[in-house]
């Protein structure tokens, strides 16, 4: 059987604008969904349905085929089923072959894995079901208000002694992350729950991102769940922070004046983060390849040491470190490109902004959710403080 994944992703979002392509721990929500689907062994192709060219481009960057969704089924009241039906017709017409199974993924559930997708599809086939969905076990006690105004237990008999968790009949809550439907049944009813429906238990954080608060919770989970293997913060104490300049303090863009002078844009919140670390006694250094007065001016403003026009950063950093009696285990580094990689590998903790080059992202201990020049340094500061990595 041929299964294809379809990820509907509208351009508009009332609760959290731009959420579908907003980086979570460095990876856009859409990119996470596409990557999980592409890694699933039972999924032969991945499609993104959207009315937004920007979203379609992000999907393509991660390996999905884009389907331009008409405006009439792209509004806030349009159902996901309408996007799935349109995607199916598009696939059948352009490829000449109809898939047997549609896997419907929602990128607002950011912790979906390829193994979970494969489990859902295989269970659908093995149990000869028409539709399946991912669910997590839920031990919550759900109540409703009865007609007489009193509380009435729905998932439990509240008139009996409270059951222990292990004695309760297992109950499940829909995750909203993964659905799978056999095409004939789905086309017949136009509903993700069609014909014989089964639930497939999965283990994942039960998070659906719709609001800014949901995002903050998901980020907290991501930083824990996606911490690189072998990274332990138990005994880490950071006494120094070393930063690249372009792409870290700035958004990696430059304004060139007519006289040849340059200007850059920095974040005031980043400056506040640096001030917090300075007040905690950290040694601070800007280590930049660029030879530009703006680097030295920003360093002076932030009261940071500065070395610029440095071609080979690691020896320069090593010398600066030894002069201050610092061990590599006491130094954190944030960089955004290939010339930062050696320093990032040498330091105990390394960070990369969300929009850093892949070479930096791949070696970073932590990929930040914020881009360079747009709060990355403040996020790094909050990370060090909240994890009690600085005195």
Residue 22 falls within a domain, yes or no? yes
Q: How confident is residue 233, by pLDDT bands cut at 50, 70 and 90? A: low
**Residue 206 to residue 27: CA distance in whole angstroms:** 19
Q: Which neighbouring-strand residues pair with 45?
A: 4
Distance CA 261, CA 294 (A): 9
**3-state SS class at 105:** strand
Q: Could you tell me if residue 232 is inside a domain? A: no
- Could you tell me the pLDDT band of residue 17, with boundaries at 50, 70 and 90? confident
Asked if residue 358 and residue 328 are part of one domain, the reply reads yes
382 contact partners, CB below 8 Å, separation of at least 6? 273
Query: pLDDT (tens digit, 9 = 90+) per residue, 2-16?
Result: 999 999 998 877 678
The per-residue pLDDT for range 90-128, each reduced to its tens digit, is 999 998 889 999 999 999 999 999 999 999 999 999 999
Residue 391 lies in a domain: no
pLDDT recorded at residue 292: 75
| Averaged confidence pLDDT in the chain | 90
List the single range of 3-17, 225-239, 257-271, 358-372 with lowest mean pLDDT.
225-239
What is the distance between the alpha carbons of residues 190 and 194, in angstroms, rounded to a whole number? 8
Residues 203 and 337 both lie in one domain: no
Q: Are residues 43 and 191 in the same domain?
A: yes
Looking at residue 232, what is its pLDDT?
A: 62
- CATH (domain of 272): 3.40.50.1000
- Is residue 178 within a helix (H) or strand (E), and if so which, with residue range? strand 172-182
pTM > 0.85 = no
Check: CB of residue 45 under 8 Å from CB of residue 38. Answer: no
Pair (182, 290) in one structural domain: no
The Cα-based distances of 366 to 33, 222, 384 in angstroms read 20, 10, 11
pLDDT at site 259:
76
Domain that holds residue 113: 3-225
The CA distance from 123 to 81, in Å, is 22
In a domain, 287, yes or no: yes
The H-or-E segment that residue 90 falls in is helix 80-95
Q: What is the CATH number of the domain that holds 199?
A: 3.90.550.10
**Is 230 inside any structural domain?**
no
In a domain, 59, yes or no: yes
Pair (16, 147) in one structural domain: yes
Residues 310 and 336 both lie in one domain: yes
Question: Do 221 and 278 reside in the same domain of the chain?
Answer: no
Does residue 203 fall inside a structural domain?
yes
Sign of CA dihedral 41, 101, 11, 218: negative
**Same structural domain for residues 252 and 147?**
no
Domain membership flag for residue 221: yes
Tens-digit pLDDT profile for residues 249-300: 999 887 877 777 778 888 899 999 999 999 999 999 999 987 778 889 999 9
Q: What does the alpha-carbon distance between residue 120 and residue 180 come to, in Å, rounded to a whole number?
A: 7
- Average pLDDT on 206-235 reads 77
Do residues 325 and 355 share a domain? yes
- Domain count across the chain: 2
């Amino acid at each position: 059987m041929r299964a294809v994944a379809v990820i509907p992703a509208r351009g508009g979002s009332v609760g959290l604008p731009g959420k579908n392509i907003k980086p979570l721990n460095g990876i856009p929500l859409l990119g996470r969904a596409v990557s999980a689907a592409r890694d699933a062994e039972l999924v032969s192709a991945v499609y993104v349905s959207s009315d937004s060219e920007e979203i379609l481009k992000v999907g393509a960057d991660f390996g999905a085929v884009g389907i331009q969704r008409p405006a009439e089924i792209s509004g806030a009241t349009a159902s996901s089923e309408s996007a799935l039906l349109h995607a199916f017709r598009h696939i059948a017409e352009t490829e000449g072959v109809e898939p047997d199974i549609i896997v419907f993924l929602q990128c607002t559930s950011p912790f979906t894995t390829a193994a979970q997708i494969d489990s859902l599809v295989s269970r659908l086939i093995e149990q000869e079901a028409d539709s399946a969905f991912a669910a997590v076990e839920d031990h919550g006690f759900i109540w409703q208000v009865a007609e007489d105004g009193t509380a009435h237990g729905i998932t439990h008999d509240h008139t009996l002694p409270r059951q222990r968790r292990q004695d309760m009949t297992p109950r499940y809550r829909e995750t909203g992350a993964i659905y799978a439907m056999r095409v004939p049944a789905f086309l017949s009813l136009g509903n993700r729950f069609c014909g014989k429906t089964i639930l497939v238990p999965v283990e994942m954080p039960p998070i659906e991102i719709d609001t800014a608060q949901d995002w903050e919770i998901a980020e907290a989970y991501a930083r824990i769940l996606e911490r690189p293997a072998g990274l332990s913060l138990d005994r880490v104490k950071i006494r120094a922070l070393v930063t690249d300049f372009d792409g870290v303090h700035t958004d990696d863009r430059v304004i060139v004046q007519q006289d040849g002078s340059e200007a850059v844009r920095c974040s005031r919140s980043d400056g506040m983060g640096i001030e917090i670390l300075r007040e905690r006694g950290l040694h601070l250094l800007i280590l930049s390849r660029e030879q530009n007065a703006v680097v030295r001016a920003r360093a002076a403003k932030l009261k940071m040491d500065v070395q610029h026009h440095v071609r080979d950063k690691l020896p320069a950093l090593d010398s600066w470190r030894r002069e201050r009696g610092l061990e590599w285990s006491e130094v954190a580094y944030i960089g955004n490109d290939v010339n930062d990689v050696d320093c990032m590998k040498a330091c105990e903790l390394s960070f990369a902004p969300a929009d850093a080059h892949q070479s930096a992202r791949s070696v970073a201990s932590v990929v930040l959710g914020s881009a360079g020049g747009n709060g990355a340094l403040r996020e790094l500061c909050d990370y060090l403080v909240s994890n009690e990595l600085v005195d």
